[in-house]
Structure 1
């Protein structure tokens, strides 16, 4: 399963939205996003002898574009000390996540939201604003980039993204999206967040099941999540299995100028 995921979603990566492109060079697969999009390394095939040079080359490349970027490191990537090498080169590690995957046919999908909560498909700017507002409340982070990317994605290629928001009455309390990459077997579940006062009531679980049903209807065999610690037990109860860890290593191009 892990080899299949690497082949479909990393080595064979496709752009994740409008204005993005995938480049393959010297054992590295990277995405160059739009000005407000995500840029980073999604896959690498490196050894101890060439790893430091490859890392330095990616820094030079993205600095030349003026882009902050991320090196998405998985627990089975080589060399085994690649994380240490990234930190030594100026990257900062974000919290570790767990790659969890499930075959749609084996999931528990007969999950409904709690009483008084309804799930609304997001198709326009007003819906995107609700998703972004929930994201900021749930995670305490700025959502301007996500807001721009999601609206651009829904506008330019709506068949490859599904976004939903859970409403308690008229109040947005949870939101999430799913990315559907044509030609792959995996649908990616992203951005699932619930405001604090609504956690533990089954809203997040209902959004996972809702998106998985859509993935099944569209012919995807697997769904995958990069899960934080608080999401792992919920996903495990639905039928997801952990495959490996993944850690975002983030680089701000200002580090190069400061050096």
Structure 2
């Protein structure tokens, strides 16, 4: 079996379950859909597959899912996570018709975790470390928002602190230059699977193309190996995809987020 086929099968079998959302504070099943609520007012829709639904049924599922989240006044934004290899007739049109906006497609990358441990040494003058204190978590969250060109959202930091308090396995890592956080990302071990996820990687524009993100990726990978994980997955932008391809990760599919805001 080719690596791409084997990895995609492992992705569908091991990750498209409750293992995908370990930080959920609530999960409701709606047919094939998993309607997830996270701290900080965020809803999320995912599924193993759409059960062979036709376009009419899919449109109905989109409407019912949105009504579920509308009924919760605490939820003010929802992401529907689509995958390029799914059989989903009419899904794009149904989501847009219900007020969802498609984001940029990203590559689903999977490969051997050990290969990431050597993607880059820490550059001179850079410190890479794990963060756990409230002050550090809030500083990291604000820096990542800045790196993505977004307004600082304190609710993101609140959600991260809530997860750390619950001890769901998530790790937060940053890279610093002269005491300033310039890059950061999460490590997400997936319980009961071979996988760990590397997420949220972002570097301030002025510090890109210096090997900082590669060093941050390697540090997270070494931490995951110590936990006994063997496979890594990540949804990658065009900027981060080459960093993951060089050590042997492969693109198995695409994922496109569709976002709705109250």
Aligned residues of 2:116 and 2:244 also touching (Cα < 8 A)? no
SS in structure 1 of the partner of residue 246 of structure 2: helix
State whether structure 2 residue 107 is matched by structure 1 residue 98: yes
Distance in structure 2 (CA, Å) of the matches to 1:163 and 1:33: 18
Structure 1 range deviating more: 77-86 or 192-201: 77-86
TM-score normalised by L of structure 1: 0.90
Specify the alignment match of 1:32 in structure 2: 37
Gaps of 5+ in 2: 1-6
SS in structure 2 of the partner of residue 250 of structure 1: strand
Distance in structure 2 (CA, Å) of the matches to 1:8 and 1:24: 18
Aligned residues of 2:174 and 2:181 also touching (Cα < 8 A)? yes
1:12 deviation in Å? Answer: 4.1
Q: What do residues 112-144 of structure 1 show as CA deviations (whole Å, max 9, x unaligned)?
A: 111010112101112102211321221111332
Aligned residues of 1:73 and 1:83 also touching (Cα < 8 A)? no
Correspondence 1:177-192 to 2 at 5 A: 177-192=186-201
- Aligned CA RMSD, in angstroms, stands at 1.8
Q: What do residues 61-101 of structure 1 show as CA deviations (whole Å, max 9, x unaligned)?
A: 11111322111001012224312221122111111111111
The match for 1:58 among 48, 57, 65 is 65
Gaps of 5+ in 1: 254-259
TM-score normalised by L of structure 2: 0.89
Distance in structure 1 (CA, Å) of the matches to 2:186 and 2:160: 9
Distance in structure 2 (CA, Å) of the matches to 1:45 and 1:16: 21
Specify the alignment match of 2:46 in structure 1: 42
The match for 2:174 among 149, 154, 165 is 165
SS in structure 2 of the partner of residue 245 of structure 1: strand
SS in structure 1 of the partner of residue 118 of structure 2: coil
Aligned residues of 1:138 and 1:195 also touching (Cα < 8 A)? yes
Specify the alignment match of 2:17 in structure 1: 11
Q: What do residues 224-247 of structure 1 show as CA deviations (whole Å, max 9, x unaligned)?
A: 111111111112123221111111
